Amino acid sequence: MTSPDSPESAAASAPVAARAGVRAARAALSGGAAGTRPPTSRDVASAAGVSQATVSLVLGDKWRGRVSERTAGLVREAAQDLGYRPNLAARSLRLGRTRTALLVVPAMTSEFFAQVYAGAARVAAEHGFGVVLYPSPEGIGPARDPFDSARTALDGVIASSMAAEALASIRGSDLPLVMLDSDPAEAGPAAHVNLDIADGVRRLTEHLLGLGHRRFTHIAADVDSWTFVVRARALAAALAGTPDAELRTVRTELSVDGGRRAAEAALGAPGPRPTALVCDDDFLAAGACKAAHRLGLRVPDDVSVTGFDGLNLATALEPELTTLTLPAEQVGARGMAALLAVLEGRPVESGDLPVTLAVRGSTAAPRPA
């Protein structure tokens, strides 16, 4: 049997004592002549049976290595039961931080960047941070400077490489910058969060080669961004080992209509028609499918089409689109976690996020010549 004074007995009785402390704290909060008052960190400390310093460590997410897991759980439970909310304004003044990050993306018309924001906001909320979204009003091109009036209200910036023109005013500032899907050799940012694009493109190309395709056209986004440069290089490298493979490139604006025009040009050009259209984006691929239908061609019987991003659009098309699926929400979450690590002087998690090949109905073996 366990004696009343054993450590196991003490550990088992701790939650009971904490619940009793919460009841006592609630009574104290509602017992004053002025009515119910909002709970304070002192009330949480009293309810959990710990010091205010311990409450501060736990709720400030700085308890690891200094407070036990059990005690941290008791503090969080007491705070939740009492409805305690830290005074973030006071904490910001004390720490010299605003606990606000800026997320810069090229545009919010893309589902991909909406998911990036969702991931960043989720991790930020878990650490008492907020995320301010800044989509470039001109889309992929230059953006107005968002920092003239807000620079002092930010702790750091997370940005997509596609929004490079909107970042000119960040460079040279003292704001920590985390870049998403960008050149890891670039020295300015405090951290990079990247996708394993080259591996994804390699697997997509191997899929098409395995089906028997040898005449490829790359419907390339006409955007000066590292991520699209990597896609083109990876496609060329993956085809380099197949001597009879042919690769042509048609560059176009990043839109459904741009994809349609580029595919019409590629499919209507003199000489043997390409059997596979490899598109830089699901919207470009949707345009390519549209072009094939307008020309009286069937996907995938007459031409295979692939995309990139893994948007909901990919499964809305008929046939459904073979595409490379990017973990957009993980990109945003990893970006926010990297910024938090930089601010706290911790190592940033390394390694690229994997890209998944989703094989669907838009690809098949080419017809015999």
For β-strands 156-160 and 215-221, DSSP reports them as unpaired
Alpha-carbon gap, residue 84 to 46, rounded angstroms? 13
As a whole number of angstroms, the distance between CA 22 and CA 16 comes to: 10
Higher pLDDT, 79 or 204: 204
Report the candidate in 41, 33, 39 with the shortest Cα–Cα distance to residue 60. 41
Question: Do the Cβ atoms of 324 and 365 come closer than 8 Å?
Answer: no
Q: How high does pLDDT run on average in the chain?
A: 83
Confidence of residue 236 (pLDDT cuts 50, 70, 90): very high
Q: What are phi and psi of 157, to 5 degrees?
A: -130, 140
Q: Which long-range contacts (CB under 8 A, 24 or more apart) does 135-144 make?
A: 135/105, 135/106, 135/107, 135/108, 136/104, 136/105, 136/106, 136/107, 136/163, 136/165, 136/166, 139/106, 139/107, 139/109, 140/106, 140/107, 140/165, 140/223, 140/225, 140/254, 141/165, 142/166
Distance CA 253, CA 206 (A): 27
* Mean pLDDT, residues 262-268: 96
Query: Quick one: DSSP state of residue 195?
Result: B
Instruction: Let me know if 132 is exposed, middle or buried by CB neighbors in 10 A (0-12, 13-18, 19+).
Output: middle
Q: Is the pLDDT of residue 22 over 80?
A: no
Q: Tell which residue, 306, 304, 310, has the closest CA to residue 355.
A: 310
Q: What pTM does this model have?
A: 0.72
Most confident stretch, 81-95, 171-185, 262-276: 262-276
Residue with tokens 């706290």: 344
Please write the tens of the pLDDT for every residue from 306-355. Answer: 999 998 999 999 999 999 999 999 999 999 999 999 998 899 999 999 99
Cβ(154)–Cβ(343) below 8 Å: no
Q: What is the full DSSP assignment across 48-64?
A: HTS-HHHHHHHHTT--T
Residue 31: pLDDT band with limits 50, 70, 90: low
Identify whether the C-beta of residue 286 lies closer than 8 Å to the C-beta of residue 329.
no
The pLDDT of residue 222 is above 80 = yes
Q: How confident is the model at residue 223 (pLDDT cuts 50, 70, 90)?
A: confident
Is residue 298 within 8 A of residue 304, CB to CB? The reply is no
Both structure tokens of 83: 């409805």
Q: Which residue has the tokens 């009971």?
A: 16
What pLDDT, on a 0 to 100 scale, did the predictor assign at position 35? 47
**Other Cβ atoms within 10 Å of 93 Cβ, number:** 11
Query: Among residues 230, 176, 213, 231, which one has the least CA distance to residue 300?
Result: 213
